[in-house]
Structure 1
Amino acid sequence: MAQTEISPAVQPHNNNPAPYPNATEADAGTPMEEPKKRNPLLFIILAVVLLAGGFYGWTRYQFAQAHESTDDAQVEGDVYPILPRVGGPVLEVKVQDNQPVKKGDVLATLDPADYQQRVNAAEAALAAAEAQVVAARAAVGTAQATARTAQTTIGVSEASRAKLQKDLQRSTFLREQDIIPQSEYDAVQANLRATSAQRATATDQVGVARQQVAAAQQQVAVAQAIVKQRQADLDNAKLQLSYTTLLAPGNGIVSKKNVQPGQVVAPGQQLMGLVASEKTWIVANFKETQLENMKVGQPVKVEVDAYPHQEFEGHIESLSAATGARFALLPPDNASGNFVKVTQRVPVKIALDKVDPQHPLRAGMSVNAIVAVK
């Protein structure tokens, strides 16, 4: 019996036979996957972060309500300009940049030859004026002696006149009796007239002598005034001579020296600066909107950029009476042109409570000032 061939068209085609002939059995034999459980540590960390951030924000808010701060602040100190009061060539410079000096130390000297010559001339003029005083006083003595002599002459003339008047009375009686000759009687009359004339002359001499005494006393006064003037000239010459030595006005550190020996300087020319090392303070420029609760005496915490890990304590010493713009070279004039409102800043002076030798503050350093206003 012949085999029956199966046509390829009707043969079953299964290139990918299923691993499980029966799908129901496969599903029944495989367990179901459970949903993943979330780690609670993540929620705890997130909660802690949120709480910490909220607490930090709340504390910063509370801090901002009770404090005012600005970084527009710097260290200030006294800076003495060293200016010559007289001109001349520089003879010697005794200091260098950044050298500490004490009050009264010699910084530089100018050539004193010209000024010494002026002192010598003033001394000679003073000596001449004092000699004139002596001469004027001698003239006063001479005039007074002349006046006394004239006064004595008047006294002698008075005595002679009195005697001659008595002689004339006797001579008149004797002449009437024809006891004495006429010539003797005439001689007595002539002596009396001469004595009277001498008395008048002596009186005039007394007046002239008194005028001479007054004039001599005036000359003494003039000579004494000249002496005072010459003394003032001498003092001024010595003062000018003293200006040839430039002294340190206080304790400090030499800065910005720009003078050398042999240089000819003029009065008022700045030769160097002297930064005082005894006291420094802080000038903080707060906005005008920050001054509502700011008062003198409030504590201040100062953070210096040069010492980031060091804090300085201070207090408000004073507040400026005007904004910083009012002291500008060209202060703003809001009455002209277009007006643009700009928040102004007011300088506030902050004094440090104590000085830290380990962390010296230098003028010009940038700082951050925080004021406790509440």
Structure 2
Amino acid sequence: RRPPRWRRLQAEIGAESAHSAALSARLGTAGPAGNPAVRAATQALALAHLNWTRRIIRAPVTGIVAQQAVQPGQWVNAGQRLFTVVPLQQVWVTANIKETRLAGVRPGAAVTLHSNLYGNAVTYHGWVVGLGGGSGAVFAVLPPENASGNWIKFTQRVPVRIAVDPGDLIRHPLRPGLTMTVRIALHGPWIRRPVPDWFLRSAAASRLSP
């Protein structure tokens, strides 16, 4: 005669088998992967894992933080402005050159620069990368209407972009918005350097306007 414990275990096995058969019938022939509840739970788990991995926001460039708009522990939303990252090693100078002095300026021309921050004791070296597509007045919020009949002639300025030697920036860091004095070599020497990739991404770089 079998002991009561054995009969109890057999009854539990039968109940679990019936429960497993009922679950298999509910899942159908596709199995767990085809069940809507299982698929929804799997997608919820994947979304939770994605949100967890995005808890750390990584900056696309290396620099210093400016204009901080959030505090530690604050919840942020997608598209919310957090702060500005200033990449000090990816800086260029925008020189606003008068149109009367622009004829001899060519891309590749060597440039020497001085900043009011350090004075004439520190000399930066660079080269002309390109000229702007128009004068500053053309792209102003309220451009002048020269055809109105009441027009006064003003000498216009055209932005000239100048790349600065990264070695000079490492030795003497600069900040956006500083005043610079530039001297462009109109008749050489010419510097043939490839334009850095970061220079083409103007949205991620800083500006120094003399």
TM-score range (shorter-chain normalised) is 0.5 to 0.7
Q: Distance in 1 between matches of 2:42 and 2:130?
A: 47
CA drift of 1:310 comes to 1.5
Instruction: Name which of 338, 341, 344 aligns with 2:156.
Output: 344
TM-score normalised by L of structure 1? 0.37
Q: Distance in 2 between matches of 1:239 and 1:266?
A: 15
RCO higher in structure (CA 8 A, sep ≥6)? 1
1:176-233 CA distance string (max 9 Å, x none): xxxxxxxxxxxxxxxxxxxxxxxxxxxxxxxxxxxxxxxxxxxx9xx59998898666
- After superposition, the Cα gap between the structure-2 partners of 1:262 and 1:232, relative to the gap in structure 1 and judged at 3 Å, is closer
- 1:317 aligns with 129
Q: Which of these two proteins has the greater Rg computed from alpha carbons?
A: 1
Q: What RMSD in Å do the two structures reach over aligned CA positions?
A: 3.3
SS in 2 for 1:270: coil
CA drift of 1:265 comes to 4.2
TM-score normalised by L of structure 2? 0.61
SS in 2 for 1:295: coil
- After superposition, the Cα gap between the structure-2 partners of 1:333 and 1:275, relative to the gap in structure 1 and judged at 3 Å, is same
- Check the 8 A contact 2:131/2:161 in 1, yes or no: yes
Q: Which structure dedicates a bigger proportion of its chain to helix? A: 1
Alignment of 1:372 onto 2:197: no
SS in 2 for 1:269: coil
1:97-131 CA distance string (max 9 Å, x none): xxxxxxxxxxxxxxxxxxxxxxxxxxxxxxxxxx9
Q: Distance in 1 between matches of 2:155 and 2:40?
A: 60
Q: Matched residues, percent identical?
A: 38
1:211-259 CA distance string (max 9 Å, x none): xxxxxxxxx9xx5999889866665554444443322322111223232
SS in 2 for 1:245: coil
Alignment of 1:288 onto 2:99: yes
Q: Distance in 1 between matches of 2:42 and 2:150?
A: 64
- Check the 8 A contact 2:62/2:87 in 1, yes or no: yes
Q: Distance in 2 between matches of 1:241 and 1:333?
A: 55
Q: How does 1:1-374 map to 2 (within 5 A)?
A: 135-137=28-30, 223=34, 235-261=46-72, 263-308=74-119, 309-336=121-148, 338-356=150-168, 357-374=170-187
